[in-house]
Amino acid sequence: MHRRTALSVSAALLAAAPLLSACSGQPHPGTAAVVGGERITTSALQDQVNEVRSAQNRSEQGAQLIEATPRLDRSKLNRMIQTAVLERAAKDAGVTVTTKEIEDVRKAQLQQAGTPAALETAALQQAQLAPDQMDADTRFKLLRDKLFEHYGNQDKALERLGAAAKALHVQVNPRYGHWDARQILLGDETTPWITQQTRPEQAPAGA
């Protein structure tokens, strides 16, 4: 199974750069979003999209999977921004996730799926995750669930997530939609931390 160090993924999402808007007021070239004064580049976003498209193209259901995800770039950008917000809120709360915790969840998921191929297929079909994105997805969900537990309920956790998002001053290139600061999401994308918490025995596609 392809793997990428989960901690490196979040750092790779953001790169130091100028603000989203240039002096003309137009989006800065090559910028998909700015979060906390750091930008998510269009190239970093496209890398995420390309990984999924490559995995979809290798699938027997490739054509159907691609047709079902026409705005994959927006979905991936939504998760990239939410990851940055979640990391900030977790840091403020002193909440962490260890590599061993991620590995334990992945082992449980593999046991449930039966084979690495079956696990990767489920993640691709149900959550638009390429193999190298699965560790980061597991980290996201563990961190989210720990934040809920830290504050005792979702409402309080969402309040702190909202505060983190506000502090990060999220700006999004209009080509990808409108950032909803109150809902902490991009356009009409869904926010997985509101609807469901992850349990270790669940496959990564359960959000």
Question: Which two tokens mark 186?
Answer: 């991009």
1 within a domain of the structure (yes/no): no
pLDDT score for 190: 65
Q: Look at residue 17 in the predicted model and tell me its pLDDT.
A: 39
Structure tokens at 120: 């990767």
Token duo for residue 22: 């240039």
Reported pTM: 0.81
Phi then psi for 185, rounded to 5 degrees? -155, 165
Residues 78, 64: Cα–Cα separation, whole Å: 22
- How far is 117 from 95, CA to CA, in rounded Å? 32
Domain count, the chain: 1
- Return the amino acid letter for 10: S
The verdict on residue 171 lying in a domain is yes
Instruction: Write the single-letter amino acid at 56.
Output: Q
Quote the tokens at residue 207: 């959000």
**Residue 134 is assigned to a structural domain of this protein:** yes
pLDDT (tens, 9 = 90+) of the chain, 207 residues, equals: 444 444 334 444 443 334 554 433 444 679 999 999 999 999 999 999 999 999 999 999 999 999 999 999 999 999 999 999 999 999 999 999 999 999 999 999 999 999 999 999 999 999 999 999 999 999 999 999 999 999 998 889 999 999 999 999 999 999 999 998 888 898 776 655 554 444 433 444 444
Number of residues written out for the chain: 207
Q: Which pLDDT score, from 0 to 100, does residue 140 have?
A: 96
- Give phi and psi for 61, each to the nearest 5: -100, 25
Query: Which residue segment(s) compose the domain that 36 sits in?
Result: 6-206
- Name every residue whose Cβ is closer than 8 Å to that of residue 128 and which is 6 or more positions away in sequence: 52, 69, 72, 75, 76
- Within a domain: 18: yes
